Chains A and B, each alone.
Chain A
């Protein structure tokens, strides 16, 4: 008995060891031409990417693409920096939009830039390894955002924007005949809704995330950083005391103080507001377009109609445009020409009209190229699901100014955290908006100054 246990244990150990050795061997063998793609998804989106990689590998067996999913962007960046130290960075890395400046400033072990511009690497070719180049066809909002120093720096993939969701059934009951489009109209509609006999506790909600106030500033044509939002040169100064930002904060505070706005009480909480909307505790919701499918579905389940429309804006000032959110694929330098072509070919393949349309249908991110949009139109997708077109239409309204394009900032994630903290203090602790944002301005400025001290010279 004892002997047989020992034998089993020994065999198991040996198998494990052999397995590990075999796996590492495999890695080495394919190492030369293998294209490593590191993305920050671990859910169905990772499966989708892996399925596309399999298709690509069947077409181009000479460049095996291997996709690895990471839990979050932070974990992904840690893995990248460890790989940089080892001198073996992946060929393609996904960076989210707020980290665009970080990606531009990233360096490898020798202090050379880690990434090369995708546009420069494509160098005007119409197809690479037989994959038609789709970079030129990317929708303007994404093109403008990711164009830095006059070059399209990275390959867009998942792109969204902020949208407005209304509980139509509730609006009908409250006799609001038109979905509100401006801040004033929201207040008027909410006044009616909250007067209902069986009124919900609150009227509207959105996540306390930096992206939403940034959207509001962009809509009003305001900047959050100097040097034209960091697009004419490296941003040196944050502007968190602008009239545009304070307009939004004061409006949010007013709604919170009179019980109209529901704050879930947690920063960067995307689920809380969405759950409140699904449970009909609020009638309006502002959140990402990427959740459109889920929210419309939640309405169906809960027995109410959901209307999807543009993000409401300040009707007192001219509208400049809304921002994108999402992520792009960055191409690391020093891959060698042949392999770099393999990487570029995969990027184009992943976003070809058929795949981009499928990606849109699977996730709710916007169709990233005009061709993909046309394909969906042709299939009748937008006739069946008209709400899926709102995001693309909203982004097309942007006037192309730096305000509507979005800021490029180093350490943007921490700077955003300063903003959300300040908003929470204004709402929950009753801090004075002007005073609190003067302090936020200082904190954010320090982060940017520190960042520029490290990377700016």
Chain B
């Protein structure tokens, strides 16, 4: 790997950061900070090699553009971050009494009395499967994303980060700057309100904090969107719209229907069974069904619409808003059965005593729902958010492929569809799938922070 002048300060910086992280982590664990710094600093120094060696540090070549260098710095620091985090985590565990066992959760901690050899032998098949079917493809995708290569013929040419920079094109747009300004104002306001309100009884500070939370989400999404170039920006926004639409509408509708069929009504077992039905349908079949139903010329939806109203049915295949709406509708319909199933199960566990008590205290139906039922359902909701987001990211593609093929004018090309669409140029597709990978990582992390905190498992 060649060393370019720009990399020297970067190496110094990540080594320093490694040392600081090590120092802090060891101190927090009640160990010697100096030792921590000495253990983790080398990890900071060596980490960038994880990405820089395979890339031959190509992004720091003298004639590279600013965008290349920026991507290079991200690759450089993420290599360092991975190794720093791993070293800090494992190193701290090892330097405390108990060694490896410290890596487990307290409740599950333990060790093998006769050594781990037998356990490792039994784990080997699983590890082999993981390595062959998960990790190897991941690293292969990483490698391919730096190549210019086409499907169907074995020629490859190293292309540095071109596959990534083509997706990027950062610009500062008003829809980033306005929420950013609002976020700053709110954050300052929240801090002032907190200081003014020493007792912690006021309503202003928590409200501002909630607004700050939502603004942060908006700013993060807007910032991500503004980093992408014009062509991928629409893909990113479509992914966000389809995902949030599917998850929010799906969960609300699912909860509503589950509440209805949990009422003591005649034949509810039959309703329940029928409602869960669409879950058994695969996403492409859902796409075909809606394609046929909403066909502009011969679809039954158009017939019904035109029989009931004086207007012509608008053609979703030439209207971006309708097309996205229909994709969301098809995916909601498809996932609804699953959501209902889990909410029905969850509703059976909501404490009837508690609801009775609330009723006696004069809580009306809405209040009982808002303050008792919904909070009791949080574990289910959390689970459903995770599964539905996964569905939205990876499986709506099947529906899109048959319903709109990404049209009109690319309005329904989400991240997964864009990966599939670039199947001829494998390197480009690999870069796109890694962008999707990062999106999923980010969303999952956010879910665990945002939703996980509010989950009550009872007890």
Are these two chains actual partners, yes or no?
A: yes
A interface, CB within 8 angstroms of B: 74, 77-78, 80-81, 84-85, 102, 105-107, 109, 201, 262-269, 275-276, 279, 281, 411, 413-414, 417, 421, 424-425, 427-429, 431, 447, 450-451, 453-455
- A428 to B150, Cβ gap below 8 A? no
Q: A428-B409, A454-B149 are in contact. List 5 more A-B contacts (CB 8 A).
A: A78-B152, A105-B153, A109-B154, A267-B407, A429-B408
The residues in B between 416 and 432 inclusive whose CB is less than 8 angstroms from any CB of A are: 421, 423-425
Residues of chain B whose beta carbon lies under 8 Å from any beta carbon of chain A: 148-155, 157, 296-298, 315-318, 320, 404-405, 407-410, 421, 423-425
Indicate if the CB atoms of A85 and B297 lie closer than 8 Å. no
Q: How far is the CA of A450 from the CA of B405 in the complex (A)?
A: 25
A413 to B421, CA, bound (A): 11
- Would you give the shortest CB distance from B313 to chain A, in whole angstroms? 12
Residues of B within 8 A of A424 (CB): 407-409
* Cross-chain contact of B298 among A266, A269, A279 (Cβ < 8 A): A279
User: Which residues of A lie under 8 Å from residue B296 when comparing CB positions?
Assistant: 264-265
Name 18 A/B residue pairs within 8 A (Cβ), A-sorted.
A78-B151, A80-B152, A84-B154, A107-B153, A107-B155, A109-B154, A265-B315, A275-B298, A279-B298, A281-B297, A411-B424, A425-B409, A427-B318, A428-B318, A428-B409, A431-B409, A454-B150, A454-B155
CB <8 Å contact, B148 and A265: no
Measured CA separation A85–B149 after assembly (Å): 15
Residue of B whose beta carbon sits closest to that of A450: B148
Q: Which residue of B lies closest to A106 (CB)?
A: B153
Q: Name the distance in Å between B421's Cβ and chain A's nearest Cβ.
A: 8
| Chain A residue nearest to B404 in the complex (CB) | A266
Q: Closest CB-CB distance, B264 to chain A, in whole Å?
A: 44
Indicate if the CB atoms of A279 and B405 lie closer than 8 Å: no
List the B side residues contacting A106 at CB < 8 Å. Answer: 152-153
| Nearest CB of chain A from residue B171's CB, rounded to whole Å | 17
B153 touches A81 (CB 8 A): yes
A426 to chain B, nearest CB (A): 9
Smallest CB separation, B159 vs chain A (Å):
9
Q: How far is the CA of A40 from the CA of B239 in the complex (A)?
A: 33
Q: Which of A201, A268, A269, A424 has the most CB of B within 10 A?
A: A424
Smallest CB gap from A76: residue in B: B152
Q: In the complex, what residues of B have CB within 8 A of residue A417's CB?
A: 421
**A424 to B413, alpha carbons, bound, how many Å?**
14
Q: Is the CB of B405 within 8 A of A429?
A: no
Cα separation A455 to B424 with both chains bound (whole Å): 15
Do B405 and A102 touch (CB < 8 A)? no
Are A429 and B409 in touch, CB under 8 angstroms?
Answer: yes
Q: Does A77 contact B155, Cβ atoms closer than 8 Å?
A: no
Instruction: Please tell me if the beta carbons of B157 and A454 are within 8 angstroms of each other in the complex.
Output: yes
Q: Is the CB of B157 within 8 A of A263?
A: no
Q: Does the CB pair A275–B151 fall under 8 Å?
A: no
Q: B residues within 8 A CB of A109? A: 154
The CA-CA distance from A267 to B411 in the complex, in Å, is 13
Beyond A413-B424, A421-B410, A428-B409, is A81–B148 a contact (Cβ under 8 Å)?
no
Residues of A within 8 A of B315 (CB): 265
In the complex, what distance in Å separates the CA atom of A263 from the CA atom of B296?
A: 10
In the bound complex, residues from chain B placing their C-beta under 8 Å from that of A102 are: 152-153
Q: When the two chains form their complex, are residues A81 and B298 in contact, meaning their CB atoms are under 8 A apart?
A: no
A266 touches B151 (CB 8 A): no
Q: A411–B150 contact, CB under 8 A?
A: yes
- Closest B residue by C-beta to A108: B154
- Residues of chain B within 8 A (CB-CB) of A413 are 424
Contact B157 A453 (CB under 8 A): yes
Rounded to whole angstroms, the CA-CA distance of A408 and B251 in the bound complex is 52
Most buried by A among B148, B152, B157, B409: B152
Chain B residues near A84 (CB, 8 Å)?
Answer: 153-154
The 3 lowest CB-CB distance pairs between A and B, nearest first, are: A265-B317, A77-B152, A428-B408
**Which residues of A have CB within 8 Å of B149?**
454
A341-B151 Cα distance, complex, nearest whole Å: 30
| Bound CA–CA A453/B150 (angstroms) | 11
Minimum Cβ distance to chain A for residue B302 (Å): 11
Q: B407 contacts which of A279, A281, A428 (Cβ < 8 Å)?
A: A428
Give complex CA distance A81, B151 in Å: 8
**B148 adjacent to A455 (CB under 8 Å):** no
Contacts of B151 in A (CB 8 A): 74, 77-78, 81
- Give every chain A residue within 8 A of B425 (Cβ-Cβ): 411, 414, 447, 450
| Shortest distance from the beta carbon of B322 to any chain A beta carbon, whole Å | 10
Residue of B at shortest CB range from A447? B425
Residue of B nearest to A264 (CB): B317
